[in-house]
Chain A
Amino acid sequence: MQENNLTDFQQCLKCNICTEVCPMMEVNPDYPGPKQAGPDGERYRLKDPAFFDKSIKYCLNCKRCEVACPSGVKVGDIITRAKLRYAHPEHQLRNFALSSTDLVGGLASTFAPVANPVLGLPLTRQVMDSVVGVSSKANMPSYAEKRFEKWFSSIEETQSRYEKKVNYFHGCYVNYNYPELGQDFVKLMNACGYGVRLLDKQKCCGVAMIANGFVQQAKKAARTNLASIEKAEGPVLTTSSSCTLTLREEYEGILGQDCSAAKEKVCLAVKWLYDRIDRGEIRLAFKKGLKIKAVYHTPCHMQRMGTQFYTIELLKLIPGLELSVLEQKCCGIAGTFGFKKENYELSQKIGASLFEDIRASKAQMVITDCETCKWQIEGGTGMKVYNPITLLASVIE
Chain B
Amino acid sequence: MKEFDVIIIGAGITGAGTARDCALRGLKTLLIERADIADGASGRNHGLLHSGARYAVGDPESACECIKENMILRKVASNCVEATDGLFISLPEDGLEYRDKFLKKCAEAGIHTQTLSPQKALSLEPLVNPELISAVKVPDASVDPFRLVSANVLDARLHGAEVLTQQEVTEIIKEDGRVKGLKVLDKSSGTVNTYYAHYIVNAAGIWGAKIAEMAGVHIGMLPAKGSLLVFDHRVTRMVINRCRKPANADILVPGDVVSVLGTTSDKVPFEQCDDMKVTKEEVDLLLREGCKLVPSLAQTRIIRAYAGVRPLVASDDDPSGRNVSRGIVLLDHLKRDGVDGFISITGGKLTSYRLMAEMTADLLCSKLAIKAKCHTADTPLPGSEKSVKFSSVVRKAREMKMDTSVIEAAVSRHGSQVEAMDFSGKGSELVCECEKVCRAEIAYAVKVLGVKTLDDLRRRTRVGMGPCQSSYCVEKAAKALAEELGDTSLSEELKKDYLQHRWKGIVPVCRAEQLAQAEYLRNKYGK
Contacts and interface: CB of A to CB of B under 8 A. Distances in A.
Interface in A12-61: 12-16, 29-30, 32, 35-36, 40-44, 46-48, 50-55
B256 A13 contact: no
Given A50-B390, A54-B404, A14 B516 contact: no
B468 A30 contact: no
Nearest to B516: A13
Interface string B229-254: 00011111100000000000000001
Given A43-B466, A71-B516, A50 B408 contact: yes
Given A10-B233, A13-B520, A47-B254, 18 more contacts: A1-B126, A1-B127, A1-B234, A7-B233, A7-B300, A11-B301, A12-B467, A14-B472, A14-B517, A40-B433, A40-B436, A44-B436, A46-B234, A47-B233, A51-B404, A51-B405, A51-B409, A53-B397
B434 interface: yes
B513 A13 contact: yes
Contacts, number: 88
Interface residues of A, number: 33
B401 interface: yes
A297 B43 CA distance: 56
Contacts of B232: 10, 43
A30 B232 CA distance: 27
B420 interface: no
B502 to A, nearest CB: 14
B405 A44 contact: yes
Given A1-B127, A1-B234, A32-B403, A51 B471 contact: no
A15 B125 CA distance: 32
Contacts of A30: 401
Given A1-B234, A51-B408, A14 B127 contact: no
Q: Which 9 A-B pairs have the closest CB atoms?
A: A14-B468, A10-B301, A51-B405, A14-B472, A43-B233, A10-B232, A53-B405, A53-B403, A53-B404
Contacts of B256: 47
Contacts of A16: 472
Contacts of A53: 397, 403-405
B257 interface: yes
Contact of B433 (A7, A14, A47): A14
B299 interface: yes
B237 A1 contact: yes
Contacts of B300: 7, 10
A295 B390 CA distance: 51
A141 B173 CA distance: 89
Interface of A: 1-3, 5, 7, 9-16, 29-30, 32, 35-36, 40-44, 46-48, 50-55, 71
Interface string B310-334: 0000000000000000000000000
Contact of A1 (B236, B301, B430): B236
A14 B405 CA distance: 18
Nearest to B468: A14
Contacts of A51: 404-405, 408-409
Interface string B387-426: 0001000000100010111001100100000000000000
B257 A43 contact: yes
B201 to A, nearest CB: 37
Given A14-B467, A51-B408, A36 B233 contact: no
A15 B468 CA distance: 9
Nearest to B256: A47
A35 B467 CA distance: 13
For the complex, would chain B's binding face be called helix, strand, loop or mixed by DSSP majority? loop
14 contacts: A7-B233, A7-B299, A9-B233, A10-B233, A13-B520, A15-B520, A30-B401, A32-B403, A40-B434, A43-B232, A44-B405, A47-B254, A47-B256, A50-B408
A386 to B, nearest CB: 41
B434 A41 contact: no
B359 to A, nearest CB: 35
Contacts of B237: 1
A16 B390 CA distance: 29
A43 B390 CA distance: 19
Contact of A46 (B233, B405, B433, B467): B233
Contacts of B472: 14-16
Given A43-B233, A44-B436, A11 B513 contact: yes
Contacts of B125: 1
B147 to A, nearest CB: 15
A52 B516 CA distance: 28
B433 A41 contact: no
A54 B398 CA distance: 11
A65 B126 CA distance: 31
Contact of A36 (B234, B236, B433): B433
Contacts of A11: 301, 513
A43 B468 CA distance: 13
A71 B233 CA distance: 18
A18 to B, nearest CB: 12
Contacts of A40: 433-434, 436, 466
B403 A14 contact: no
A21 B405 CA distance: 23
A71 B516 CA distance: 9
A4 to B, nearest CB: 8
A47 B257 contact: yes
A1 B127 CA distance: 8
A44 B513 CA distance: 19
Given A10-B301, A14-B471, A44 B257 contact: yes
A97 to B, nearest CB: 29
Nearest to B231: A10
A29 B402 CA distance: 10
B144 to A, nearest CB: 12
Contacts of A29: 401
Contacts of A42: 233
A140 to B, nearest CB: 32
A10 B257 contact: no
A44 B410 CA distance: 12
B405 A52 contact: yes
Given A13-B468, A13-B513, A30-B401, A44 B409 contact: yes
Contacts of B397: 53
Contacts of A50: 390, 408
Contacts of A35: 433
A384 to B, nearest CB: 41
A41 B436 CA distance: 9
B44 to A, nearest CB: 22
A46 B520 CA distance: 26
Contacts of B517: 13-14
Interface in B506-527: 513, 516-517, 520
Contacts of B299: 5, 7
Nearest to A12: B467
A228 to B, nearest CB: 32
Interface in B106-165: 125-127
Contacts of A7: 233, 299-300
B230 to A, nearest CB: 12
Nearest to A54: B404
Interface string B282-301: 00000000000000000111
Contacts of A32: 403
A394 to B, nearest CB: 49
Nearest to B517: A13
A139 B100 CA distance: 71
A40 B466 CA distance: 9
Contacts of B254: 47
Nearest to A37: B403
A55 B513 CA distance: 29
Contacts of A46: 233-234, 257
Q: Please indicate which of the listed interface residues B257, B300, B390 has the most CB atoms of chain A within 10 Å of its own CB.
A: B257
